């Protein structure tokens, strides 16, 4: 069976996504947070970053687009609900995190700008 060639544009987008997530992870580390997971996959979806600072667990969606507005618009209500459901599954798999405060952040990455953090961008139900 012949191996399919990877689509160069998809490969480039994948690499840009990894780069954006790495930048966001370092940004949280500089804020004295500990990265618990990257690209945490669940049956309902993926969480880009899970970090901890003190008694707070932060679930992070990272978006890289040409503009900050494009990045924020890419985090739809459907995406927020998916992340909230995936966070519930992470919490069920990590009972030691019970009782921690929870937060859902968005990190916007756009060319030529520092990462922009939106803390508490939505709640555990996916509502803004």
State mean pLDDT over 24-51.
Answer: 96
Per-residue pLDDT band for 115 (boundaries 50, 70, 90) equals very high
Confidence check: pLDDT of 1 > 60:
no
* Contact of 117 with 105, CB cutoff 8 Å: yes
70 CB-side CA count, 13 A: 7
Once rounded to an integer, what is the mean pLDDT over residues 27-39?
A: 96
pLDDT at 84 over 60: yes
Least Cα distance to 105 among 115, 92, 120 occurs for: 120
CB-based burial, 46-81: b 16+ in 10 Å, e otherwise: ebbbbbbeeeebbbbbbbbbeeeeebeeebeeebbb
Buried-state track 7-33, b at ≥16 Cβ within 10 A, e below 16: eeeeeeeeeebeebbeebbebbeeeeb
8-122 carries CATH number 3.40.1350.10: yes
Minimum mean pLDDT range among 30-34, 57-61, 71-75: 71-75
Residue-range domain boundaries for the chain: 8-122
Which one, of 72, 60, 58, 78, lies nearest residue 24 by Cα?
60
Provide the CA 47 distance to its chain's centre, in angstroms.
5
How confident is residue 4, by pLDDT bands cut at 50, 70 and 90? low
């Amino acid at each position: 069976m012949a191996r399919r060639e990877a689509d160069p544009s998809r490969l480039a987008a994948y690499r840009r996504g990894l780069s954006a997530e790495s930048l966001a992870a370092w940004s949280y580390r500089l804020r004295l947070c500990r990265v618990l997971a990257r690209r945490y996959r669940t049956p309902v979806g993926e969480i880009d970053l899970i970090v901890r600072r003190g008694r707070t667990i932060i679930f992070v969606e990272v978006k890289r687009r040409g503009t900050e507005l494009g990045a924020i618009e890419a985090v739809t209500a459907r995406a927020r609900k998916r992340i909230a459901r995936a966070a519930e599954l992470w919490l069920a798999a990590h009972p030691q995190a019970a009782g921690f405060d929870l937060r859902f952040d968005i990190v916007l990455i756009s060319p030529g700008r520092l990462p922009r953090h939106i803390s508490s961008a939505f709640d555990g139900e996916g509502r803004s």
